[in-house]
Structure 1
Amino acid sequence: MRIGILTSGGDCAGLNAVILAVVRRAVLGYGWDVVGIRQGTHGLLQRPPSVMPLNDQVNNDGMLRLGGTILGTINKGNPFNYPMPDGSFADRSDEVIAGYKSLGLDALIGIGGDGSMAILRQLAQQGDINLVGIPKTIDNDLAHTEYSVGFTTAVNVAVEAMDRLQPTAASHDRIMILEVMGRDAGHIALFAGIAGGADVILIPEMDYDLEDLTRHCLNIRKRGRNHALVIVAEAVKTDKGDSVTVGSDGQKARYGGIGHWLAEELGERTGWETRVTVLGHVQRGGTPSPRDRLVASTFGVHAVDLIAQNKFDRVVAWQKRRVVDVPMADVIKGPSLVDTGDTMVSTAIGLGAYMGTPPEHKRTAKIV
């Protein structure tokens, strides 16, 4: 057997741990060859395809600790709607499939989020490719899995930031606002907010009222504390319901800036000096956490075993402390947002954090 592996979409910690697990299980367990495809599907558009042999990586235990991905990744250039130099768009899916076929591979493992998996699944169906998926995203918004590779490291980074912001907030009598990633989901903000002792946790799944938020902060001061910690997910809207985005020169707009907007509002309303920290891509880099290494390792081994069992069009998942596999079609239906009736939300509120009001239409529990 000869299998391929690629990483697609945004980078995160733990990707190399997945690659290492796949190589070790495939080479040591089954005696297969493993080929790494560089830069996701973009590597399959090159002639010859841009690849690297991975069998020799079986003894590279440094990969378990290494952030990023040795294969590189890409989160643009959909092969079904590929941007061309003249500004037009073309369907280059047949070229990607031809590149894959030229490698003589028996199966492909794709590590990605819901968008990447949707594209890979469409390619697999069109090109009769045996595909197995591994979920990775710091946003943790893939359905049917409690954890995705990269999530806990991103949470750890956010918690460390809050641990560093708290003493400087107390030293200067300030409100410190931390803006974190998460795309349209608030998982990072919620988990890090609880672990970091945030006084305010704002997530896109829950509405909030600026007057209530202001009173909450002022009450903290009345109780004798001279500072407050606020964590806000990047997709949280203003009180007028507007998304705060950045992007220029023809670039696609992306979330960013809600922290600064909130700082101006809270500073004016409370009279408290405010400061903002935007973590951004810091959450994607660095050494993967122990849990991310654990999840990555179990996912990699299980993905190879699925190939050995001729079980394709499946995605490995973490459910109730076990690794399982689910239909890929179920995973790519859409993002899994925070369930506002979940234990994590009630815990945050029970600890005294302000989270706003959970509207009924945004109750979006994970299905596991």
Structure 2
Amino acid sequence: MKPVALWLCLGLTLLAGQQAGTPKEAGDQRNQNQGNQKDKKDKKDNRKDPAQIGSRDVGKGINFYSLEKEIALGKQLAEEVTRQARLLDDPVTSEYVNRLGQNLVSHSDARIPFTFKVIDSEILNAFALPGGFVFVNTGLLRVAETESELAGALAHEIAHVAARHSTRQATRGQLAGYLSIPLILVGGWGGVAASQGAGVAVPMGLLKFSRVFEMEADLLGLQYVYAAGYDPAGALDLFEKLMALERRRPGALSRLFDTHPMTGDRLSRAQETIQEILPGRPEYVVSTSEFEHIRARLIAREGRAKRPQAPPSLRRPPAGAVEDAVEAEAIEAEKDDAEAETKDRPVLRRRDLVESLKPVAFGSRYNHRERE
């Protein structure tokens, strides 16, 4: 046998013996591998454990943006939205939405401060910018029928921020060579995505999330509303309501579906999440009197804005009033004519009048006296 073949056979024999080892060693190795896999599985599944909210890192992943840069980017974009959009001029409603949002944030995995603002727009929408800047439209506030429905919409946006989906998505785009994608410029911040920029340029990759990120936001958002004490089914109620609206009026939610595609798959997965990982409770918060007041306030405000202005009312004069007015006007006209005629006559002073009447009164005697 040649030396090369001999060394090859010897090496393969030693390698086989090393891998085989003793039965005990082989069993220990299998147990260790299974343990490692289980640890990885448990570590991965902590996103499905609501008991670990706040102690887990749901935003890990390849990201070219530090948390500080992400906040700075979101602040810059939020300032543009605030400058260009028509924010709701109603401190009562704005304060309510902010308070509701902050309560959900306190029961989330987010590690940064949040701000919530209301845009005065009938388009059904809520969207979040990187760094904790959330905007919700009055249209969505009016469509939601319970506070748990509204909480579900806000919690979904909070989840996008907590998981840092915007900058992680942007990083993926840069890695894929899409850094040069043009910014979207269209009118109106009423819609969800960058395409609603009211002249403000926003990278589409910051708001249009992948299917995986949308489902992750559903998973986390349902846990957040549950942790805050709300009925998680409220989020599904709003979800189904929007889907039904889209079926009745195709295109009504086209912008919303562009960035947050609502599919039957997402709905079924959300239902499974509630059944499998959220333990049942004897009672949940479904709605509150404050929400009912805010919703009624917005509906009444919308009614006043759309109420047509009444045309000027004309009262009819009483019977005979027109004839009397015409006759009175004629009398006044006659008086004016008489006064004008009098003014046109020569005015004689009293002495001139007496002198002019002497020839008539004294006849020839007056004329004779004048000649003498």
Q: TM-score range by the shorter chain?
A: under 0.3
Q: More strand per residue: 1 or 2? A: 1
Q: Tell me the TM-score normalized by structure 2.
A: 0.24
Q: Tell me the TM-score normalized by structure 1.
A: 0.24
Q: More helix per residue: 1 or 2? A: 2
Which structure exhibits the higher relative contact order, with contacts defined as CA atoms closer than 8 Å and separated by 6 or more residues? 1
Larger radius of gyration: 2
